Amino acid sequence: MSTTEPTPDADLLQRLAALAVHAGANVQPGQFVSISAQVGGHEPLARAIAGAAYAAGARFVDVAWFDPLVKRERLLHSADEDLDVVPPWLGDRIETLGRERAANISLTGQVRPGVFADIDPARVGRDQLPALKQTAEVINRRELNWTVVPAPSVGWAQQVFPGLDPAEALRRLEADIRVVCRLDEPDPVAAWRARSDELQANAERLNARRLDAIRLEGPGTSLTVGLLPSSRFIAAGMDTVGGITHQANVPTEEVFTTPDPARVDGVVRATKPLTLGGTTVDGIEVEFRGGEVVRLDATTGADVMRRWIERDPGARRLGELALVDGDGRVGQTGTVFHETLLDENAASHIALGSAYLMCLDDEADHPRANRSAIHVDFMVGSRDVAAIGIAADGTETPLLVQGAWQ
């Protein structure tokens, strides 16, 4: 019997690579291109993307590898006071990519799920690498054309489909990725442009209402999220300061905005598990008062998430509110991917931490937007959770009910 580990489908990798380079980051001739990937499963797609980027005219492609097993050794042996140390050259690299107006493609999908499961959650929560605070700063300055794409691997597949043998689990994951990334379409790039047009139209209809707040109502959830005066919903395409249009997530099914971090009140219950730094956090329930988290509970991984929101004052406040309708392909698969990139596009979600300044029309509102070294999305929507718009005069209008725009 062969013990060779199954490998991802070569045709799928080539199609994903082309999608990441052209529909996602929109790599331009002469650009530097950075790829962020994990050792132990992302290598095949990283190499395919490098090839597609060079074919598109990239000047140089650099891969920033992250090894979860090396992080495990740090968590096991490092002194407590050293766990949150981040070498300055890691942040310098991101800042340099921004100054060079580079493209960045990040691969997602845990290659070694549960690798930190036997380690003290308090220690796991201290070491937040590979996340870097400089990433949010460069993104907010719109210096990078960037995207995040899923990378199929055996480790991730067995987390999503634990009852199947490795080869069958990988094939099932690949089949779902083909669907959610629209790789089953004759021209996936054109298909994403069409979907982007739909999402942007939804965002414009929301913006036309000039809402003051949005309330989420459902089982275990009653949360009111205030908006800033110039908050606007955006979707799909973004532009760099140099005018390069790119799609930050592939797939993407959301319309999102920047909330008022001082006006969030109520309780919200997560509807899907969250993978945070390699740890699964499930059954999340968060209570806000005056914009700040005053209680955070979870059935698993609570201590890890509590450590994340202790990073700085902004980590306990909201930086994003996103609405997702039932027409998106991610939710229609019925699969829980245990990966934020995909799961957040199956359900409406909120994010603790850093806000997106591009969602504010007026620079005068920029100082009021939340600032933090973290940005942690977790899913709070389902067909049973309604989104209700609230105008400045208190008038309420249903926005999303049973997954459908009203």
**CA angle (14 as vertex; 347, 90 as ends), nearest 5:** 70
Overall average pLDDT of the 37-59 stretch:
98
pTM of the model: 0.88
Using the predicted structure, report yes or no on whether residue 115 has a pLDDT greater than 80: yes
Average pLDDT value over all residues in the chain:
94
The token pair that represents 58 in the structure block: 């990239």
Of how many residues is the chain composed? Answer: 406
Tokens describing residue 69: 């097993």
Listed in order, strand segments (DSSP E) in 113-220 are 145-150, 213-218
- Which structure tokens are listed for 244? 């390069």
Distance CA(385)–CA(383), nearest Å, equals 6
Residue 295 scores a pLDDT above 70: yes
Query: What domains sit in the chain, N to C, each tagged with a CATH number?
Result: 10-188 (3.40.1830.10), 210-405 (no CATH)
Q: Residue 112: its pLDDT value, please?
A: 93
In sequence order, what E strands does 221-312 have?
221-227, 234-235, 237-239, 245-247, 254-257, 259-269, 274-276, 279-281, 285-289, 292-297
Angle at 401 between CA 398 and CA 406, to 5 degrees: 55
147-202 pLDDT tens trace = 999 999 999 999 999 999 999 999 999 999 999 999 999 999 899 989 989 999 99
What proportion of the chain, given as a percentage, has pLDDT over 70? Answer: 99
Task: Using the predicted structure, report yes or no on whether residue 2 has a pLDDT greater than 60.
Answer: no
Strand ranges, E, within 180-243: 213-218, 221-227, 234-235, 237-239
β-partners of residue 297 are 285
Looking at residues 245-273, what average pLDDT do you find? 95
What are the backbone dihedrals phi and psi of residue 337, each rounded to the nearest 5 degrees, phi first? -90, -10
Tokens 């095949």 appear where?
Answer: 44
- Output the six-digit token pair for 262: 């001082």
375-379: strand order across its sheet: 234-235, 254-257, 318-324, 349-353, 375-379
Please work out, in degrees rounded to the nearest 5, the angle formed at the alpha carbon of residue 321 by the alpha carbons of 196 and 382: 80
Q: Residue 160 has which token pair?
A: 């999503």
Q: What is the H or E stretch that residue 144 is in?
A: none
What pLDDT band is residue 327 in, cutting at 50, 70 and 90? confident
